[in-house]
Structure 1
Amino acid sequence: MNHQYYNVLGVMSGTSLDGIDIAHITLVRKEVWSFQIHVAETIAYSTAMKQKLADAISYDANSIETLNEEYTAYLANEINLFIEKYKINNLIAVCSHGHTIFHKPENNYTLQIGNLPHLAEIIKERVICDFRVQDVELNGQGAPLVPIGDRLLFGDYDYCLNLGGFANLSFEKGTQRIAYDICPVNVVLNHYSLKLGKEYDAGGAFAKAGKIQSSQLESLNDLPFYTESAPKSLGLEWVNNHIFKILNPLNTLDAITTFTEHVAIQIANQLSPQKTILITGGGAFNTYLIDSLKKHTAVKITIPEDEIVENKEALIFALLGVLKLRNANNCLSSVTGADRDHSSGVIYVP
């Protein structure tokens, strides 16, 4: 495809289960890539769907297959409602990440549900999706996938940091883009915030109210993952096996405070002072976390307008889909450890 203007939807669901991000975007390819986000929403999950997604990690194969069908229909309905609400037409594609249930690249396995062919049939649009599987088949981590977008859309910054379910860092080293998961973030903080009756720790208020417990903080910082070389990525399985086992003996407020400090330390360990960093994702609104990060590093922090903070991943999955349409590489072997750079994803037509 040689189009230079791409009218698309980017669709993303993160491990923190805050909802489905849908963004209507125009991507423009001239000398460099540029974009415009026309309208975007985060659509909260129904209570029932949120519970099923949270429980799915323990489902058997048949239950996962049933959930995949149900979630695909659920996702299609939300996309259709979004298109109708904003009277969107002439889309080239809907570019959708799906929702990660399993991510075990060490076993050559990753599963994102909501990527079944009938998604295209229900929404009556071309769909580009399932971006991680091919990379894992090529011996890659299948994550993170955002760094190609960091390079093409946000290359003015030394670092790009996303604070979502997990913290992902991306930067140029020589001629290569390097990226990896640093540590969990909201997938842990939201878990404990729910125990206090809130979906998330707004502004870091819970973290501010608790106390750092040095023994647990030391145990967290000593986890072997943090000394492993990139490429590396994290999943819920790792969080369940390591993080919660360390934090669960604490009261809820102290668990949140201790873990927030842990996140700030682990991120700071990856950064060189005086460099510039763009921070996006829901964690960018956690002022306690950002202030803690500033105490541990002299990096120059930029938090962009809310539209980009909240929708950067949906934006970049839109770009991944467009790159797939152009048969251009959208997965970087320097990031994922795959055998080669490649153009990942599948294309469904209604």
Structure 2
Amino acid sequence: MSGTSMDGVDGIAVEFRAGEAPRVLADAFVGFADGLRAALFALQQPGENEIEREALAASALAARYAVCCHELLRGANIAPTRVRAIGVHGQTVRHRPEKGYTRQINNPALLAEMTHIDVVADFRSRDVAAGGQGAPLVPAFHAQVFGAQDETRVVCNLGGISNITILPPARAQAERREKRADERTDGGAADCQAIRGFDCGPANVLLDEWAQRHLGTPYDEGGRFAASGTVDQSLLNVLLDEPFFEQAPPKSTGRDLFNAQWLDARLAGFEALAPADVQATLAALTAVSVAREIERHAPGCRAVYVCGGGARNPELLKALEHALDRSGVSGVPVMTTDVLGVPPHHVESLAFAWLAMRCVERAAGNLPAVTGAAGERVLGAIYPR
């Protein structure tokens, strides 16, 4: 998995067995060289010679994915012949479901050639073809590993973009299934139709941008930059005055909306603010936008479990807990998915391994109630080794 932060590849080797929790065999991280990262950032906006630049970047990405796969094989001490498939997301450079497309650049054919393992790629386009947002795709997996019998839980991914999955009690899910038994078309995905999930707004995408500008580092280590500043309520109000925050789900977003240009336009008139105060306010923006969505759509939740890169930012977690306390869902604890047995940096890679497994089994991977698609679909395209 390489996400919106575009810092590198998170990989995981995992074994799935029916009725058992996924068994992690190894994990690995392979960073992007500065040249590749710059090429990926450049592809976020229209420019000259895009077709060739995208093709070259896709091949460079495949080479990094291959390195990650070899690291996983070595770490798990397994041969390529034992691997059923590689699930590879690709790098999102445009996400415009309202125009009928989402673009994850990748070269899965090259990856299959390099690894001699079947590759499953292009997970989002089938959902978009069915009228969906193509995102988020992780809620179905979250339901498999994080659901509880008798309480509503929220899983919050703080990656480049923030998103939440609302998991109703499993008992209520079972009752719903009984009531809707005559409408079921596929046991695996139809079980999860009461689950909701959607993007909330920016997270690390803006925090990283500001840290790079003022610290010269790719991110705010430990949230210390934000902790040294003070939230400016006037700027926060301006940032929150974005129509996306008021949209009803299903909804998804990315760098197409929340980018440096978006931020600079809203900073006009706030030039006197200290950079640390802006960073603190951006952290508050992430926290408040997530807390508002939880208050609107999951007021009965008992706990929020955080994953993604933001889970390593204690100041962001504190900001989220503070925002929840100031909303109508006060007293809800915020913790990482570690307490549920899954390290935060494993969650998204695990999800796309699970989606690859579903594709291989020809089982649906999307949740129409989440993405807005016309129905359940098998997600992904297989490139044989």
Residue of structure 2 equivalent to 1:263: 286
2:33 corresponding residue in structure 1:
46
The residue identity in structure 1 corresponding to 2:204 is N
* 2:205 counterpart residue number: 187
Are residues 344 and 244 of structure 1, via their aligned partners in 2, closer, same or farther at CA, if it must alter by over 3 Å? farther
1:76-87 to structure 2, matched below 5 A, reads: 76-84=66-74, 86-87=76-77
Out of 330, 345, 360, the residue aligned to residue 310 of structure 1 is: 345
CA distance 1:85–1:171, shift in 2 (3 Å): closer
Secondary structure of 2:94 counterpart? strand
3-state secondary structure, aligned to 1:312: helix
Correspondent of 1:23 among 12, 15, 19:
12
Q: Is residue 243 from structure 1 mapped to residue 263 from structure 2 by the alignment?
A: yes
Post-superposition offset of 1:165: 0.7
Tell me which residue corresponds to 1:327: 362
Question: Which residue type is aligned with residue 61 of structure 2?
Answer: Y
Matched-pair identity in % = 30
Cα contact 1:105–1:142 (8 A) shared by 2: yes
TM-score, scaled to structure 2: 0.82
Partner of 2:188: none
Q: Is the contact made by 1:104 and 1:235 (CA closer than 8 Å) also made in structure 2?
A: no
Deviates more, 1:175-184 or 1:115-124: 115-124
Secondary structure at the counterpart of residue 338 of structure 1: coil
Amino acid of the residue matched to residue 154 of structure 2?
Y
Contact 1:16/1:164, CA 8 A, preserved across alignment: yes
Find the partner of 2:63 among 65, 73, 88. Answer: 73
Q: Partner amino acid for 1:36?
A: R
8 Å CA contact retained: 2:167, 2:195? yes
Pairwise CA distance, 1:273 = 5.9
The structure richer in strand per residue is: 1
Find the residue that maps to 2:346 and give its secondary structure: helix
Aligned to 2:166: 171
The CA deviation at 1:307 is: 5.7
Distance 1:324 1:345 in 2: 6
Q: Separation in 2 of the partners of 1:148 and 1:88?
A: 28
CA shift, 1:46, in A, is 1.3
Deviates more, 1:51-60 or 1:329-338: 51-60
In structure 2, what is the Cα distance between the partners aligned to 1:73 and 1:304? 30
Structure 1 residue 267: deviation in Å? 1.3
Distance in 2, matches of 1:123 and 1:177, equals: 36
1:215 maps to 2:246:
no
- Note the C-alpha offset of 1:172: 3.7
Give the aligned residue type for 1:309: P
Shifted more, 235-244 versus 94-103: the winner is 235-244
Equivalent pairs counted in the alignment come to: 337
Distance 1:43 1:77 in 2: 7
Q: Which structure has the greater CA radius of gyration? A: 2
User: Following the alignment from structure 2 to structure 1, what is the Cα–Cα distance between the partners of residues 362 and 14?
Assistant: 20
CA RMSD of aligned residues (A): 1.9
Deviations 1:223-280 (A, max 9, x none): 1111110000011010135334214745432221111111111111122266222111
Which amino acid in 2 is paired with 1:193?
A
Aligned to 1:279: 306
Q: Which amino acid aligns with 2:165?
A: S
- The Cα of 1:127 is off from its aligned counterpart by 0.8
Q: Gaps (5+ residues) in structure 1?
A: 1-11
CA distance change for structure 1 residues 274 and 312 in 2, over 3 Å: closer, same or farther?
A: closer
Question: Which of 242, 245, 248 is equivalent to 1:226?
Answer: 245
* In 2, Cα distance between equivalents of 1:35 and 1:85: 17
Gaps of 5+ in 2: 169-175, 177-192, 325-330
Cα 1:115–1:337 change in 2 (3 A) is farther
Aligned mates of 2:264, 2:66 — CA distance in 1:
34
**Per-residue deviation, residues 48-72 of structure 1 (Å, max 9, x unmatched):** 2112112222342332223223322
